Amino acid sequence: MVTEVSKILILRFSSFGDVTQCLSVPSKLAAHFASENSFISEKNNKIPVEIHWATRREFEPLLLGHPHIHKIWTLDRKLGLRGLLQLISQLKKEKFSHIYDAHNNLRSRLICWFLIPPLDLTRVFSPPELIRKSQKRWKRLLLFRFRINKYRMPFSGQRDLLEPLAAWGIDETLPPPPQIVLSPIVKSQIEKKLQDQKLEKFTVLAPSAAHTLKRWPMAHWKELVSLLPEEKFIILGGPEDVFLSELAEEYPTQVQNWAGKTSFAETVAVVAFARALISNDTGILHVAEQLGKQSLALMGPAPFGFPSRPSTQVLELNLACRPCSKHGQGPCVNDKFHQCLVDISPKMVLNAYLRMVKK
């Protein structure tokens, strides 16, 4: 006799980097629940846990192909409240046994309230188990207002997402990469494009970030490229990162600017083909991590996007003012403006890069 399959819902709607980091969660859930709760069928095959994920529509390509995500539910922000209520109506029909609210915002809490209503008598004896990623607001207050750090060190974005799973008996060790899957069609398209551009060996640069204070100075990027005259580079970023064009314009034989010209799936493929990545604190850094790609992370004012895998080397300065804000939005309070990134010199990055690619 075979028991009912555990059905788990993950709620993580954004952002690019957070969704990418959260891709380790399905593998941990699958490994745990398959071994704990599954039975052997007549053919001696384990029945897998069924994992669903609700996210914003634009981030669906990051989840596609993951071996432990069985169904993706998408939310179209353009539909507003109507779209959210439609999603809730669809999710209610699934009767999840477990829910992990990895977002913990008003939207995800509203979904949980409807999926686990306090007066739903039909589920009194079998309510889904709910865990929620803590926002740790009191720790934030102590850190940013009073400079008292009560967070576990070093900071780790993926560890913070896995930590709540301890309530279900799941540890925080990261599943091995890759935890993000290349689309075969997109992989072939990018491979052909790289061949056409004669880019057999290149490094990806990610010089942008959501907030200006998280960006290594453009003058430093230019100097770094000049120190590596034999290297080829591809810049990745969003369509709003128009300022990145000046780097390619100054070094047209070395640098190609693909910022704003690749979809999420294409961005993953470009990083996968690269020999390495040099990145600010931004979502592309986490793509490289989940692919197991060697990377340099230039970390400045914000604490919550820190990489978590040994394939990534962190470059940072130990300053009393760091971290200064949740997302790096500032303001900078240092007497030397933007010192946390300005004082990471191009030669420091060069030396770290050369050591990394020679491994």
pTM, two decimal places: 0.91
State the pLDDT at residue 65.
95
Q: What pLDDT score does 187 carry? A: 96
What is the reported pLDDT for 49?
A: 86
Q: Is the pLDDT of residue 2 over 60?
A: no
Residue 124: the pLDDT is: 53
In the predicted structure, residue 356 carries a pLDDT above the cut 80: yes
d(CA 357, CA 302): 27
Are 1 and 98 contacting, i.e. CB atoms less than 8 angstroms apart?
no
Q: Give the pLDDT confidence score for residue 116 in this predicted structure.
A: 85
Neighbours of 347 (CB within 10 A): 12
pLDDT reported for residue 5: 58
pLDDT at 358: 87
Q: Which pLDDT does position 359 carry in this prediction?
A: 61
Distance from C-alpha of 356 to C-alpha of 296, rounded to nearest angstrom: 8
Distance (Å, whole) CA 14 – CA 349: 30
Q: Which residues contact 243 (CB under 8 A, 6 or more apart)?
A: 208, 218
The rounded distance, in Å, linking the Cα atoms of 156 and 296 is 15
Identify the CA nearest to 341 among candidates 195, 189, 168, 214. Answer: 214
- What does the pLDDT look like over 221-272, one tens digit per residue? 999 999 999 999 999 999 999 999 999 999 999 999 999 999 999 999 999 9
In the predicted model, what is the mean pLDDT of the chain? 91
Instruction: Report the share of the chain in percent with pLDDT over 90.
Output: 86
Secondary structure, 3-state, the chain = CCCCCCEEEEECCCCHHHHHHCCHHHHHHHHHHHHHHCCECCCCCECCCEEEEEEEHHHHHHHCCCCCCCEEEEECHHHHHHHHHHHHHHHHCCCCCEEEECCCCHHHHHHHHHHCCCCCHHHCCCCCEEEECCCCHHHHHHHHHHCCCCCCCCCCHHHHHHHHHHHHCCCCCCCCCCCCCCCHHHHHHHHHHHHHCCCCCCEEEECCCCCHHHCCCHHHHHHHHHCCCCCCEEECCCCCCHHHHHHHHHCCCCEEECCCCCCHHHHHHHHHHCCEEEEECCHHHHHHHHHCCCEEEECCCCCCCCCCCCCEEEECCCCCCCCCCCCCCCCCCCCCCCHHHHCCCHHHHHHHHHHHHCC
Find, among 21, 31, 114, 19, the residue nearest to 74 by Cα: 19
In order of their start, the domains of the chain are 7-168 (3.40.50.2000), 184-357 (3.40.50.2000)
Report the alpha-carbon distance of residue 87 to residue 79 in Å, rounded.
11
Is it the case that residue 97 has pLDDT exceeding 60? yes
pLDDT digits (tens, 9 = 90+) for 147-171: 999 999 999 999 999 999 999 999 9
113's tokens: 């309230």
**Angle 355-205-15 from CA coordinates, rounded to 5°:** 115
pLDDT, tens only, 4-56: 558 999 999 999 999 999 999 999 999 998 865 544 333 445 456 899 999 99
Write down the residue that tokens 């979904």 correspond to: 111
What would the mean pLDDT of 321-345 be, rounded to a whole number?
A: 93
pLDDT, tens digit, 9 for 90 and up, residues 72-83: 999 999 999 999
Chain-centre distance of CA 89, in angstroms? 28
Q: Residue written as tokens 């790289």? A: 194
Please check the confidence at residue 121 and state whether its pLDDT lies above 50: yes
Q: 206 pLDDT exceeds 90?
A: yes
